[in-house]
Amino acid sequence: MIKLVVFGNRVGPILGRHPWVFSGALKQIPDGLDGGSAVQLFDETGRFLAQGYFNSYSQIAVRIWSWDEKEEVDQKFFENRVKAAYELRQNYLEDKKTDSYRLINSENDFLPGLIVDKYADYLSVQFHNPGIEFWKKEIVSALKKILKPVGIYERSDVRNREIEGAEKQSGLLFGKVPDQVKISENGYKFLVDIIGGQKTGFFLDQRDKRKALEKYCAGKTILNCFSYTGGFSVYALAGGAEKVISVDVSQSALDLAKENIKLNKLDPKKCEWVCDDVKKYLGLNPSGELFDVIVLDPPAFVKDRRKIKEGLFGYRNINEAALKLLKPGGILVTCSCSAHVSLTDFRYMLTEAGGRARKTVQILENFTHGIDHPELVAFTEGDYLKCIFAKVS
C-alpha cells in the first residue's frame, strides 16, 4: 500500500474525521498513481492517520474511508461497509412499510464517491469519480452478497464525473431491471424509472417531508411545483386535499405521476396536470387562483460556489411568486438541494422574498436529511438538503 505524508499543520481535519485530503496537505505525491490506488496517510513523525484511495492529481488528492490502520482493503472490507450501512437502515428506518431508501451515502457511509439507492429488490448505483470506480467489481460483488438484489443498474451519468475527468456512463451491472419498478414508501406505492429517471430514479431524500405534508392538506387546494413523478401530490391527496395542481416541465414525469395516483387508488378528478416551466407558470398565474398550500421542490439552483448569488436570486424569485399566490394563513413548503447554500442563507433569502411579497413568514417545521442519509459531522460539504414548512400571513 502506498504511504503518503501529511504536513504537521494539516492533520487537524483528518483527525476530526473529514474524509477529504487536499493536494496541498501532502508533502509529496508520487508520479504515475492510478485513481483508486489504496493509500495510507501518516504525519511527519510517522504516526498513522487514516487510509483511503488516491483520487486524482487535482484539488482533492485522497478520499478517506478508514481511520483504522489494521483494516485491510479487500473484498471483505467492502462487504463489511455494505453490511454496516444496510443494518443501520434496517434498525432505524422509522416506517417498516418502506422498502426503498438510500443504502450507501458516499463519504458518510465510508465509501466516498459511491451512491447506492435501494428500490424494492433493485439497486441503482452511481460511481462519482474514477477512484471509487476502480473498485467497481468488489463493490458490485459485495452488494450482490449482502442485498441479494434481482438487478443492479448503474447511473454514473452525474455532473461530478466530468469535473473529475471521467466520462458519464450507465447500464446494467447485474441481473435484470424493468422499465419501471414498483416501490413502497410509508405504505404508498410509486413507479420508479431507474433507467431513465432523474438522479437514480426517485427523490428518496424527501420521504419524511412528503409524510409531513399530509397533515396540512385536508380540504385544501395544493400547488405542487417541480412535481416530477408526483411524490408530494400523492401524499397531498392521501391527506385529504380537495384539489392538487402539479406543474413540471417534463411530460414523461407527469405521465408517470398520473400512474402513481391510480396506483394508490386516489381520485384523479382532483388532479390537474400542467406541463410548463414553473418559473413561467408562477409569474403568469394563468388562472388567478390562490392556494392553501404551495410546494416548491426545485432542482439545485447553485451547482458552483461561484454562482451562489445568482442561485439565491433564483430561489428568491420563485418564493416571492409563490408567497403572492397563497391565501392568508396558507402553507409554503420550500426546499433547496444546493450544497453551496446554507440554511442561514436560505432563511435570509426567504426573509427577502417575504418582504418583497409583503407577507409575514412563520417557520413551523425545519427538515434536512432522513435517517438513510447520515452525515459525518465534519463533512459539512455533504449537507445539501433544506426544507422549510412555513405559515404565511
Which residues are the active-site residues?
337
Q: Check if the beta carbon of residue 204 is closer than 8 Å to that of residue 117.
A: yes
User: 160: exposed, middle or buried (C-beta count within 10 Å: 0-12, 13-18, 19+)?
Assistant: middle
Report the candidate in 113, 116, 125, 127 with the shortest Cα–Cα distance to residue 89: 116
CA 99 distance to own-chain centroid: 17
- Whole-Å CA distances, 216 to 162, 219, 295, 325: 41, 9, 11, 17
Number of neighbours of residue 213 by Cβ within 10 angstroms: 26
In angstroms, the CA 7 to CA 5 distance is 7
**Residue type for position 138:** E
Q: Check if the beta carbon of residue 25 is closer than 8 Å to that of residue 42.
A: no
Give the length of the chain. 393
β-partners of residue 274 are 247
User: 141: exposed, middle or buried (C-beta count within 10 Å: 0-12, 13-18, 19+)?
Assistant: middle
Q: Check if the beta carbon of residue 114 is closer than 8 Å to that of residue 134.
A: no
In angstroms, the CA 149 to CA 100 distance is 12
In angstroms, the CA 308 to CA 290 distance is 31
Q: Check if the beta carbon of residue 378 is closer than 8 Å to that of residue 17.
A: yes
Q: What is the DSSP string of 81-116?
A: HHHHHHHHHHHH-S-TT--EEEEEEGGGGT-TTEEE
